[in-house]
């Protein structure tokens, strides 16, 4: 059995091997990515699990807006190398248009990029932060939480570990 942790790895395995079972774990739509024919009948030698985090992006944005109703400008942290980046930014922009709000997109694919993206917020401040689902952002959860806490920036993240990183006993 081959286990693939990204859509790119799963696609490469699927194209290279037809006789060994492949199990994927992805955060994107496996049908859209061409991994499986359908969710209920994947077919071939491939199956897996998906989180569909990108489909919840607009809902997370709407929830953040309900929690911070006076916010007018929202920063959106995305990793442009993530397969879901385009769909997440599109969903966020659609939601912002409906709500009449402004988005500032922060793109980061490394730890240094995160620092640079946050530094840009001093020039173009935001009232709240929406963090896309990405392995980098989960790994750098303390860096992101520290920035948000320091600037008292309401933040929406995907995973519990990211939220727990923002816990402060000092507040």
Please answer whether residues 102 and 130 qualify as being in contact, where contact means their C-beta atoms are separated by less than 8 angstroms.
Answer: no
User: Tens digit of pLDDT for each residue in 72-116?
Assistant: 999 999 999 987 788 888 888 988 998 899 999 999 999 999 999
Query: Looking at 9-147, which runs of residues are DSSP E strands?
Result: 22-26, 46-50, 73-78, 102-107, 128-131
pTM exceeds 0.95 for this model: no
Please answer whether residues 132 and 87 qualify as being in contact, where contact means their C-beta atoms are separated by less than 8 angstroms.
Answer: no
According to DSSP, the residues that pair with 48 across neighbouring strands are: 24
C-alpha–C-alpha distance, residues 83 and 13, integer Å? 17
Please answer whether residues 89 and 58 qualify as being in contact, where contact means their C-beta atoms are separated by less than 8 angstroms.
Answer: no
Domains annotated for the chain, with CATH where assigned, are: 2-51 (no CATH), 54-165 (3.40.50.2300)
Measured between its terminal Cα atoms, the distance across the chain in Å is 48
Q: What average pLDDT is seen over the chain?
A: 88
């Amino acid at each position: 059995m081959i286990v693939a942790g990204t859509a790119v790895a799963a696609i490469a395995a699927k194209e290279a091997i037809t006789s060994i079972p492949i199990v994927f774990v992805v955060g994107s739509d496996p049908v859209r990515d061409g991994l499986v024919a359908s969710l209920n009948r994947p077919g071939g030698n491939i199956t897996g699990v998906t989180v569909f985090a990108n489909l919840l992006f607009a809902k997370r944005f709407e929830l953040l807006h309900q929690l911070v109703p006076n916010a007018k400008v929202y920063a959106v942290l995305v990793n442009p190398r993530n397969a879901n980046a385009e769909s997440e930014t599109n969903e966020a922009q659609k939601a912002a248009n409906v709500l009449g709000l402004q988005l500032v997109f922060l793109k980061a694919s490394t730890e240094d990029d995160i620092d640079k993206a946050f530094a840009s917020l001093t020039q173009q401040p935001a009232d709240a932060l929406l963090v896309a689902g990405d392995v980098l952002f989960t790994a750098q959860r303390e860096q992101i939480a520290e920035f948000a806490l320091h600037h008292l920036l309401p933040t929406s993240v995907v995973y519990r570990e990211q939220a727990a990183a923002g816990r402060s006993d000092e507040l």
